[in-house]
Chains A and B, each alone.
Chain A
Amino acid sequence: MRLKRKDILTIEDLDRDEIGLILSTAESFKEVSDREIKKVPTLRGRTIINLFYEASTRTRTSFEIAAKRMSADAINISASSSSVVKGETLKDTAKNLEAMNPDCIVLRHPSSGTPQILSRLLRCSVINAGDGAHEHPSQALLDLLTVKQRFGKINGLKVAIVGDIAHSRVARSNIYGFIKLGARVSVAGPPTMMPSGIDKMGCGVCYNVEDAILDADVIMMLRIQLERQNGCLFPTAREYSRLFGLDSKKLEKAKKDVVILHPGPINRGIEISSDVADGEYSLILNQVKNGVAVRMALFYLLLGGSRE
């Protein structure tokens, strides 16, 4: 079994078996991070460039640690420190990086579709580390892994994704991923945060958080991007928190074995209260841990084979 693709751009592109292979490979990689020497020589001599056009601590660090634990050479380029500020185009940046012969470019970009465009320009592998409001495939894969570890399966689970669906790449990737593996997904939040046609993506839509979490096995709270809102999509953070945020009172009505995910970074007291974020139902730190394993698996599956 092999991942027959050069790039990981979207969950939409991946089929069930491919997702299964990535998750089982990631499962094997989890153990490496628990070792005293957290490093395997597998990708010795391979070069991985983390090209980040958007601020990110968690995702970039996770990809970097994953690369280093595989013994690959990882180089980080962030928009602020590269020639991006000098007005170089994406195409030129990409072509120049390729001239240095990396094996993989991990791209985070604020414009949707940029990883696709880049992958057409480059011979090396491209991993999408989040593009605009489009997709964030490695995040969805680590979420799937986290949920699968807890429940032993994905099939048949009910997943509620709550928050700004319209601007969320995490939501889109998870909608595809959970549905492909047989879960039922519903999205919830104020109508101003529901993108047009979301109901046609195979998920239920509701505007009431209590209803959405009532029979959910998994609650995924999305980060409210306060810096992006300008108070436009909802009147105030206070009202949002009261009506759409998750707190222990709302959680009382949820299932006893419900789990809570959040892609981070969390706005404590806005979309999720501190007691819930740190509480017994929260798998937030498992997500972070699994993130490294999933990204190691992606590197292994993309770069571990021969280059034709």
Chain B
Amino acid sequence: MKRLLIKGGRVIDPASGIDGIFNVYAVGGKIAAVKPHVQTPDSGPQSDDWDIIDAAGLIVCPGFIDMHTHLREPGYEYKETIQTGTMAAAAGGFTSVACMANTNPVNDNASVTRYILKKAAEEAVVKVFPVGAISKELKGEMLAEIGELKEAGCVAISDDGRPVISSALMRLALEYAKPFGLLVISHSEDIGLAADGVMNEGLISTKLGLKGIPNAKEDIMVARDIALAELTGARLHIAHISTKGAVELVRNAKQRGVNVTAEVTPHHFTLTDEAVVGYNTNTKMNPPLRTKDDIDAIKIGLQDGTIDAVVTDHAPQSIDEKDVEFDNAANGIVGLETALPLLLRLVSEGVISLSALIEKLSANPAKLLRLGGKGKLRVGADADITVIDLNKEWVVDAKNLKSKSRNTPFDGWKMKGRVVKTIVRGKVVYEW
């Protein structure tokens, strides 16, 4: 039986309130013990019985869970596959990813879910949790077979990439998902408002002559979805929040007791619309990069708990879809491998504590998606562990990403802090 000891690291496990120098023991893919580290020559098990990782000076925490990833398989294997996507996840410290339903065919029925899980079982490097579609073919017309999606293994439902335009259908989805305990993840935008927008609306879009997307496009739909969550009592989760207004709407709703949660991506609080100057198509995404005002609001939202989770919205696109006119370029960026150092900036800026950050990357997503045994280092939990060197300096080189795609606006960025080991069920799947 596989036995692993991670020795002498600073263990941070927000789920159990641990932050100190501990040894973590894993046996059979499960956490066997977390014991205070004692510096004696013969303490602990002998090396021939155990694989020992010396984590002195490193952070040891629950493996990250990305509740918003696009693995592109089936259908868009030229952008990413379950294999390459999960390799990228491992390189970013993610031990679980929830993959969105906008594949081809759409993950709107159990057979697609089973296909994804079968491929994942064969090729994935980290654990894959499919997210099912809300509506058939993401068309926003009829409900997908949500019950069967759940049975097949989906952990949430979302039409991500598209909003559910019909309020009636969104209401049905929220109501119908309730007994299955499925989280409904809303890609909130009022499509009709600035349908052809390609970046944030403001001075920069005006100067660049690009069609703008006002904050109201997101705010309107977030307000609607919150009203529907209030009406139905279902669990609503706002995907990739980007505006000040949406943060405020979620905060107010939470205060009223509405069952709503929210997530944010690193790029939405790292870059502003000024990054679009020069027309780098790797700054094109939906929702678009916003302004400093929005970033400030998002940071407060992270601080006060309005925003529950940090996600990557990892959206691989091939070079042919990005190396075109800005208007014609596909939305999205790859995010799995650059997330952590961007997030650590929040810690060094003093926005949130390292522990709170880890919570939003592990315990909270596990709770939202109801992933038992994930997101914590308690005895009996899955031995999904991420080891971080906070001081490691490195430079992002898009060419060297594990992802099949290279669409990152952070190419050439100097980063501080990186994942040095990613462990899934007691097995090291990535090493720096």
Direct contact of A and B (CB under 8 A): yes
Q: Which bucket holds chain B's interface residue count?
A: 20 to 34
Complex-state Cα separation, A195 to B211, whole angstroms: 9
> In the complex, which residues of chain B have a beta carbon less than 8 angstroms from the beta carbon of A112?
208-210, 279, 326-327
Complex-state Cα separation, A196 to B212, whole angstroms: 8
A132 adjacent to chain B (CB < 8 Å): yes
> In the complex, which residues of chain B have a beta carbon less than 8 angstroms from the beta carbon of A134?
208-210
> In the complex, which residues of chain B have a beta carbon less than 8 angstroms from the beta carbon of A116?
278-279
A40 adjacent to chain B (CB < 8 Å): no
The contact string, 1 if C-beta is below 8 Å from chain A, for chain B 46-88, is 0000000000000000000000000000000000000000000
Q: How far is the CB of A73 from chain B (nearest CB, A)?
A: 27
Are B206 and A114 interface neighbours, CB within 8 A? no
Are B210 and A91 interface neighbours, CB within 8 A? no
Q: How far is the CB of B38 from chain A (nearest CB, A)?
A: 59
> Which of A98-106, A197-205, A210-218, A276-284 makes up part of the contact surface?
A197-205
Q: A111-B326, A114-B326, A117-B325 are in contact. Are A132 and B202 (CB under 8 A)?
A: no
Are A200 and B279 interface neighbours, CB within 8 A? no
Are A196 and B327 interface neighbours, CB within 8 A? no
A135 adjacent to chain B (CB < 8 Å): yes
Q: How far is the CB of B321 from chain A (nearest CB, A)?
A: 10
Which chain B residue lies CB-closest to A89?
Answer: B324
Complex-state Cα separation, A172 to B206, whole angstroms: 9
> In the complex, which residues of chain A have a beta carbon less than 8 angstroms from the beta carbon of B211?
133
B142 adjacent to chain A (CB < 8 Å): no
Q: Which bucket holds chain A's interface residue count?
A: 20 to 34
Complex-state Cα separation, A303 to B327, whole angstroms: 30
Q: How far is the CB of B201 from chain A (nearest CB, A)?
A: 5
Complex-state Cα separation, A18 to B139, whole angstroms: 53
Q: How far is the CB of B256 from chain A (nearest CB, A)?
A: 32
Which chain A residue lies CB-closest to B204?
Answer: A197
Q: A111-B326, A111-B328, A113-B325 are in contact. Are A196 and B201 (CB under 8 A)?
A: yes
> In the complex, which residues of chain B have a beta carbon less than 8 angstroms from the beta carbon of A132?
209-210, 327
Task: Name the interface residues of B318-340: CB closer than 8 Å to any CB of A.
Answer: 320, 323-328
Are B203 and A111 interface neighbours, CB within 8 A? no
Are A113 and B324 interface neighbours, CB within 8 A? no
A226 adjacent to chain B (CB < 8 Å): no
Are B326 and A201 interface neighbours, CB within 8 A? no
> In the complex, which residues of chain B have a beta carbon less than 8 angstroms from the beta carbon of A110?
327
Are A89 and B209 interface neighbours, CB within 8 A? no
Q: How far is the CB of A223 from chain B (nearest CB, A)?
A: 16
Which chain B residue lies CB-closest to A195?
Answer: B206
Of B208, B320, B325, which is in contact with the most chain A CB atoms at under 10 Å from its CB?
B325
Chain A residues within CB distance 8 Å of chain B: 12, 89-91, 109-114, 116-117, 131-135, 166, 169, 172, 195-198, 200-201
For the complex of A and B, 9 pairs with smallest distance between CB atoms? A134-B209, A197-B203, A113-B279, A133-B209, A111-B325, A112-B209, A111-B327, A195-B206, A113-B326
